[in-house]
Amino acid sequence: MNPTPGRTGFLHEGACYDLLTRAGLNPPSHGWFGETLPFSPGAPVVVKGIAEGLWHKSELGAVRFLPFEGEALASIANDMQDRVEGEGYPWIGALVCERIEMATAPGLPTEGFAALTKGEGGWTCVLGLGGMQADALGALAPPLRWPLAFVSPAVALQEFEAHLLGQVWLGSLRGTQALTTRPQLLAFLEGLWAAAELAEADGLELLELNPVALDPKGAPRPLDGVGRAALPRKARPAPPSGFLQALKNPKRIAVAGVSSKPDGVGRIILENLRKAQLPEGDLIILRPGGTRFLELPCVADVSTLREAPVDLLVLALPAKVALEAVEALIALGGGASVVALVAGGLGDGADIDGLGEQLKNTLSQARCEGRWTPALLGPNFLGHVVPAQGLNTTFIPEDKWLPPAEGGSLALLSQSGAFLLSRLSANPNLRLGLAVALGNQLDLRLPDLLHALETDPEIRSVAAYVEGFAPGDLEATAFIAARMKLAGRPLLIYRAGRTDAGLVAAASHTGALAGDRDLEQALLTRAGVKIAPTIAAFDAGLAWLGAFPGLDPGPVAVLTNAGFESVAAADLMGGAFPPARLGEKEVASLREILRTHGLEALVSPQLPLDITPMSNEVAYRDIQELILQSEAKVLVVGLVPFTRKLELEDAQRATAFARELRSQAEQKGKAVALVVDAGLSYDPMRTALAKGGLPVFTRMEDALEGLRALG
């Protein structure tokens, strides 16, 4: 027991009952000892000792069941007061409550718990098995979690019916009888949603109801409740708008920190920027001591940028010098739309002088006062890439890595610069509109980029690598994702870190059964975010979105010349990942195509379709066209290349084959991918096929897992 005498923000049971009554949740009739009580002599009651910060009364003997009688109540109240004050809890009073007879089911748990929590994702309802053994029961039947902004009480009821507690209450288990009705449960859930609104208005962050029991009429009744007030949080002034255009299509760029050493960070960034499509004189260097350096114009410091501003200023400078440059810009009132901070040591583990906090305070004060500031990327900004502009601000030399050359409508955001580079290196044929390493997100953060991208007409899908959410970012991300989903713009996320970062309530509370990661996943998936379970699935999803940015997978058809691929596909599909089916007329047409190509005795006309190594490119083309006219929304074509019937080793022929297939798909509004399951010697074939505008995979499993991540 760790009491916290005098704790502020604690919502005791009496105050909690008042809120529940306002929400229509019908807690027990109750009153305080010493006041007029609504009970007749002998009525069964429960006496509860209420004290500041006391969450678990029964552990201190502060809960007693007895008939209502004045003298006995006085003795018990005095005893409870002595007990809890002896443990250091400030006494509030003795709460006398109606004792409610609870409905039971022999051999089955019938008590529930409900927790309303306001965390980084807004208000969430957690509902599951409760009572004294809530922790143990929750491990056997995990509680349900509903982000209230994205789930209605009616949807919650449908899901609750499948939970063990819902099955017990509704009598859907074999040999059981219903203890309540669906209308009563819906009214209870609507009351929880209403309680969250009241809790928000009252400045709370937690309401915990345990147990919740059914009375003899089947009404769910919260028998115990406590809560906690939310700590005040200072709003973050938003970064200035317009930064996305400065990143995607900068007309003028400046770099500071360029030396004569060819392997210096600033120098490598400069050399990469030389390849961008910038007008003469619009790539400049900040360097004192001359007007030109490395055949480019120079200015002495940021003061000159006030009259001749740049869209992007890259500061490859030590942390303290970079801070001084940003402060000088803010004092000038202009000079750069976006400032990229390459160095660390600003607000991270290497910042021993508080430079990051100083910079955040400077930005916040200026913005609160309505003064000009730039938008900041980083610190630890590894760079960004815009293939259509030939723009590359990374400090990776070209002999180590070349960015994708093909423009597209997919944006890739990453909180890790190394992850970003690895993904782009592993997916060299990715058709990309924008890739940004966010660094430490001292200013520009993930939701800021998502908000800017969600209405960008050139971007139709976004993928992001996320290691964590700063305060306020999770809820913002979810609401943006929901809007993107409605607009047909998928958001694919790989979430690094597979353990709970913390608990919603204190570790001893039943509401804490839902860890932060569980609540985060529930919120994001309800908002429409596609969450890749592995990096491999994320890579595969990238490949699909790069070629078909607005992809929303539906029935999937597989066509291959290898039996193992058709068997593997059949194993992977089903349930929420439906295989496509051919109708009777389509099967008849397929039989005719197989007969034309001499395959009718070798091939069974059903999906997944194995057309054997005896099929040539013409057979593929004819069968592909038929499948694309079926219900299939996605077609995955396996090309195991060892047969002489396929001659796709020729690069031009392979590219033409892929282009024709893409054209067939686009005409029907479908998506197509190719699989070449063979060794490294077939990489040139894969590259040639990718030039035809299709995603190309090395395994059937990869292609299908990518679709599953997007489904």
Whether residue 642 sits in one domain with residue 566 = yes
Whether residue 438 sits in one domain with residue 420 = yes
Element (H, E) at 588: helix 584-596
Compute the distance between CA of residue 457 and CA of residue 285 in angstroms, rounded to an integer: 32
Nearest Cα residue to 628 out of 580, 596, 686, 675: 580
211: preceding bond cis by omega (within 30 degrees): yes
pLDDT tens digits, 162-201: 999 999 999 999 999 999 999 999 999 999 999 999 999 9
More confident residue, 273 or 138: 273
Whether residue 433 sits in one domain with residue 566 = no
In a domain, 15, yes or no: no
Whether residue 121 sits in one domain with residue 84 = no
CATH number of the domain at 193, please. 3.30.470.20
pLDDT at position 328 is: 96
Whether residue 443 sits in one domain with residue 339 = no
CATH number of the domain at 631, please. 3.40.50.261
The last residue of a domain, from among 321, 337, 365: 365
Mean pLDDT, to the nearest integer, of 14-27? Answer: 96
The last residue of a domain, from among 334, 365, 396: 365
CATH number of the domain at 304, please. 3.40.50.720
pLDDT at position 254 is: 97
pLDDT tens digits, 212-258: 999 999 999 999 999 999 888 788 888 999 999 999 999 999 999 99
Element (H, E) at 407: strand 407-414
Our count of domains for the chain comes to 5
pLDDT at position 6 is: 36
Whether residue 666 sits in one domain with residue 587 = yes
In a domain, 93, yes or no: yes
Q: Which domain holds residue 468?
A: 382-503+513-550
Highest mean pLDDT among 54-58, 92-96, 116-120: 92-96
pLDDT at position 134 is: 73
Mean pLDDT of the chain: 92
pLDDT at position 280 is: 86
In a domain, 578, yes or no: yes
> Residue 470 class from Cβ within 10 Å (0-12 exposed, 13-18 middle, 19+ buried)?
middle
pLDDT at position 8 is: 55
Q: Is the pLDDT of residue 4 over 70?
A: no
Q: Is the pLDDT of residue 491 over 70?
A: yes
Of the pLDDT bands very low, low, confident and very high (cuts 50, 70, 90), residue 498 is low
Whether residue 212 sits in one domain with residue 121 = yes
Q: Is the pLDDT of residue 512 over 70?
A: no
In a domain, 326, yes or no: yes
Whether residue 124 sits in one domain with residue 92 = no
In a domain, 51, yes or no: yes
Compute the distance between CA of residue 424 and CA of residue 465 in angstroms, rounded to an integer: 13
In a domain, 691, yes or no: yes
Whether residue 459 sits in one domain with residue 600 = no
Of the pLDDT bands very low, low, confident and very high (cuts 50, 70, 90), residue 502 is very low
Whether residue 599 sits in one domain with residue 686 = yes
pLDDT tens digits, 351-397: 888 999 999 999 999 999 999 999 999 999 999 999 999 999 999 99
pLDDT at position 499 is: 54
Whether residue 620 sits in one domain with residue 517 = no
Compute the distance between CA of residue 91 and CA of residue 175 in angstroms, rounded to an integer: 47
In a domain, 240, yes or no: no
Whether residue 336 sits in one domain with residue 485 = no
pLDDT at position 574 is: 80
Q: Is the pLDDT of residue 596 over 50?
A: yes
pLDDT at position 350 is: 85
In a domain, 635, yes or no: yes
pLDDT tens digits, 291-335: 999 999 999 999 999 999 999 999 999 999 999 999 999 999 999
Give the residue ranges of DSSP H helices in 281-392. Answer: 319-332, 355-368
What is the pTM (predicted TM-score) of this model? 0.89
Q: Is the pLDDT of residue 576 over 80?
A: no
Mean pLDDT, to the nearest integer, of 28-48? Answer: 94
Q: Is the pLDDT of residue 77 over 90?
A: yes
Of the pLDDT bands very low, low, confident and very high (cuts 50, 70, 90), residue 511 is very low
Which residue has 């396929």 as its token pair? 646
